[in-house]
Amino acid sequence: ETGVTQTPRHLVMGMTNKKSLKCEQHLGHNAMYWYKQSAKKPLELMFVYSLEERVENNSVPSRFSPECPNSSHLFLHLHTLQPEDSALYLCASSQDGGDNEQFFGPGTRLTVL
C-alpha cells in the first residue's frame, strides 16, 4: 500500500469553480512533486518542493497554485480551469530529491466541464 495519499480521488468542476487537491505522504520524505498525466501523453512534472520550498515550476499556468505547508502535505489549488486541464494529477514524494525513487499517490482524476 502506497505511503502517499491523495484526496479527492475524483473531481468534476466547472470552469469558474475553485477547488483544491490534497496530498499527504507518510514516508518521512522531504521532497514532494505534482505531475499531470493526460491520456496517451507522458507524465509531465508541474512543481517540485524540497524542504517545503518550491524549487521547480515547470512553466505551469497560474491557474494552478501549489502550496506546501510542511514536508508531509502538498496542495494544488485550482481556479478558472479549462477543459484541456482534465487529466490525472499525481502527487509523489522522495527523500532528498535528486534521482532517488519517487513514490506516487493514487492520483486525482479531474474533469473540467
Partner 1 sequence: RKEVEQDPGPFNVPEGATVAFNCTYSNSASQSFFWYRQDCRKEPKLLMSVYSSGNEDGRFTAQLNRASQYISLLIRDSKLSDSATYLCVAWAGKLIFGQGTELSVKP
- Which of the ranges 15-23, 35-43, 62-70, 78-86 carries the binding residues for partner 1, by CB under 8 A? 35-43
2 belongs to the binding site for partner 1 (CB under 8 A): yes
* Binding track over 49-68 against partner 1, x by CB under 8 A: -------x-x----------
42 belongs to the binding site for partner 1 (CB under 8 A): yes
Taking alpha carbons only, the member of 97, 112, 108, 87 closest to residue 32 is 97
Q: How many Cβ atoms from other residues are within 10 Å of residue 11's Cβ?
A: 18
Q: How many Cβ atoms from other residues are within 10 Å of residue 53's Cβ?
A: 8
CA distance 6 to 75: 10
Tell which one of 25, 50, 102, 108 touches partner 1 (CB under 8 A): 102
